[in-house]
Chains A and B, each alone.
Chain A
Amino acid sequence: MKRIQINEDVCIGCRLCEVWCIVAHSKSKDIIKAFKQEKPRPIAMIRVQEDIPISFGAQCRHCPEPICVFSCISGALYIDENGIVLHNSKKCVGCWTCILVCPYGAIMRNEDEKTALKCDFCMEQGTPSCVEHCPNEGLTLVEVSENGF
């Protein structure tokens, strides 16, 4: 089971993870089109937390016992067969309970759609885009055991 490891010591705060998260979740998958043409512009599901010199990119940790899933009132959040916490926006009612309970602040709001938004581990492309494009290995993919450690 692979999970994203945050390496705070080498995060340089460039926010390329946010940029490429936006591209990965755009319709065109083209960086210039995603930023300049697509309206509304996709929202980054990873956010760099920064208090210089400390910084790190944080996205959903895909907890083995996800409080967000347990708290979701509409069944929009669920765990898939790989243990990835996913969000079905069709079911989401925008109550923001998940945002309230997430201990990592990793769930975003899609203000236009009035739904929650979270990291989907880039299920379609294998390696998450933020990991793939981090220039300093501030985010890496590591193997963890079934219980998430």
Chain B
Amino acid sequence: MKSYLLPEFKIIRDDDRCIRCQVCVRQCGFGVHTYDEENDIIISDESKCVGCQRCAVFCPTNALTIMTNPYEYRPNANWRKEFINDVKKQAEGGGVILTGCGNDKPYKIYWDHIVLNASQVTNPSIDPLREPMELRTYLGSKTNQLEMVDGELKTVLTSQVMIETPIIFSALSYGAISFNAQTSLARAASEFGTLFNSGEGGLPKELRKYGKNAIVQCASGRFGVDPEYLNSSAVVEIKIGQGAKPGIGGHLPGEKVSIPVSRTRMIPEGTDALSPAPQHDIYSIEDLSTLIYALKETTNYEKPISVKIAAVHNSAAIASGMVRAGADIIALDGIRGGTGAAPKIIRDNVGIPIELALAAVDERLRKERIRNKCSIIVAGGFRNAGDIIKAIALGADAVYIATAALVAMGCTLCQKCYTGICNWGICTTDPWLSKRINPDIATKRLTNLLRGWSLEIKEMLGGMGINAIESLRGNRHHLRGVGLNKWELDVLGIKGAGE
């Protein structure tokens, strides 16, 4: 069938600069560029281009410009280009449109409408370059009170995990991302003193040595879950939902299930790895409690148990149930959370923004006087240190970043993760493409990012006159809204700017 779709991207090659070195030809995993020896020219098939910019970055003479193809249909506020093209795609393919990465629709990003406070005259700001600043964070359930007898602590403390910065790498499973990419995350987390999350694909044996810095997931597919896996970690996370696809399971295509992936996931090579939409042993809060305590028993009550849900309409009530069911950590993943593969219609339409979910959950748990029983980790589209510090002031204990970590490794959010081809070597199990991530370099890039953001958080804390992140946690007085409606300010629990 002839496709009626026009290429998404336009490739402009400056022929005065192109030296026919064919680096672009070799770097494109989608086969966009080919060299025509007869005419000594490079031909680019724009219909295959995904706009990942790999060729442009690697071109030694900067001869390539990849830009959005500027074609237009007749302007129509309802039938925008994206919707026309999606209809064409489905008319030609007849299936669910898949995509990768997080929601790219212009839902209001509340971080952009929240501003931070700073000290002026009546209270001194602190210079983080001269005075110590504390970003250290403890994750886990905190006791209601401490009992001291003769200067000795009598209360038995619950298991806590210490992280040096409130930034954690979010779940990225082996199989979805390459071994080299996961290794880089593990090494960076270990070097910086924070955590990485194995995702639902198990933890390769080679990475068990980074277990002290690992959150391991137990998801609906139960891939790679056994007592050794659970005990190799710092935290065990029950994955109920994911922000990019609330209510939807996972599907790792068989092509990505190579021998090492199959070994780690404990499934036959080349078979589709299907994660059911629900956990079939969890249909209620009581069922969740059963699994939480089964995991606690397996890990000898030594590890905090996290429960991750997608942020949806009743998150606050669900979170309350989760804490009562025994969760030590609640992970909330908002509507802008990323994915390796999700139906586009789900990614773009289901869930709620993380800012609102976080504010609602924190508020509810405080009202019910159980906020201390759990730590809250939030996820879903955190772009910079500003977003993170605002989340902490809104009530989060720590923030999960995944897209930002991938971008640090080279990702440009081309959204083709579901194809199994990743020109940046991240979201693929192809052994040839995977080599593009050098764990030494990627680890450095990740630790640099953590360091940069941590320094920025310290700068902002200092400006507010605070010297420990603990003092900002849930301190919404340091936040003001700009351009928000009353209901939005009410849900966020913050005042408008000027108030």
Contact = CB atoms under 8 A, between A and B. Distances in A.
Interface in B48-68: 58, 60-61
A107 interface: no
Interface in B425-472: 425, 430-432, 435-436, 438, 440-441
B264 interface: no
A52 B60 contact: no
Interface string B20-36: 11110011000000000
Interface string A116-149: 0000000000000000010111100000000000
Given A136-B438, A137-B441, A36 B27 contact: no
Interface in B383-442: 425, 430-432, 435-436, 438, 440-441
B313 interface: no
A55 B432 CA distance: 9
A2 B17 CA distance: 34
Interface string B183-194: 000000000000
B435 A14 contact: no
Interface string B59-101: 0110000000000000000000000000000000000000000
Nearest to B57: A135
Interface centre among B60, B430, B432, B435 (most CB of A within 10 A): B435
A12 B436 contact: yes
Contacts of B430: 53
Given A135-B58, A137-B441, A12 B435 contact: yes
A65 interface: no
A42 B432 CA distance: 29
Given A52-B432, A53-B432, A53-B435, A14 B23 contact: yes
Contact of B435 (A9, A19, A31): A9
Given A12-B436, A14-B23, A31 B61 contact: yes
B12 interface: no
Nearest to B436: A12
A10 interface: yes
Nearest to B434: A53
B345 interface: no
B21 A137 contact: no
A9 B438 CA distance: 8
Contact of A15 (B16, B23, B436, B441): B23
B19 interface: yes
Contacts of B27: 12, 14
A10 B430 CA distance: 13
A55 B430 CA distance: 14
B19 to A, nearest CB: 4
Contact of B22 (A15, A31, A136): A15
Interface residues of B, number: 21
Interface string A1-14: 00000010111111
A137 B442 CA distance: 11
A137 B438 contact: yes
B432 A15 contact: no
Interface range on chain A (Cβ under 8 Å from partner): 20 to 34
B465 to A, nearest CB: 43
B17 A32 contact: yes
B23 A19 contact: yes
B431 A19 contact: no
B23 A136 contact: no
A10 B178 CA distance: 13
Contact of B20 (A13, A35, A55): A35
Contacts of B438: 7, 10, 136-138
Nearest to A35: B19
A19 B22 CA distance: 10
Nearest to B63: A32
A37 to B, nearest CB: 11
Nearest to A18: B21
A138 B430 CA distance: 18
Contact of A137 (B17, B22, B58, B440): B440
Contacts of A138: 438
A53 B431 contact: yes
Interface string A26-39: 00000110011000
Contacts of B23: 14-16, 19
B341 to A, nearest CB: 23
Interface of B: 16-17, 19-23, 26-27, 58, 60-61, 425, 430-432, 435-436, 438, 440-441
Q: What are the 9 closest A-B residue pairs judged by CB atoms, nearest first? A: A35-B19, A53-B432, A10-B438, A53-B431, A19-B21, A136-B438, A12-B436, A52-B432, A14-B23
Given A20-B60, A135-B58, 4 more contacts: A12-B27, A12-B436, A136-B441, A138-B438
Interface of A: 7, 9-16, 18-20, 31-32, 35-36, 52-53, 55, 133, 135-138
24 contacts: A10-B435, A10-B440, A11-B435, A12-B27, A12-B436, A13-B26, A13-B432, A14-B27, A14-B58, A16-B23, A16-B60, A19-B21, A19-B23, A19-B60, A20-B60, A31-B19, A53-B431, A55-B435, A133-B60, A135-B58, A136-B438, A137-B438, A137-B440, A137-B441
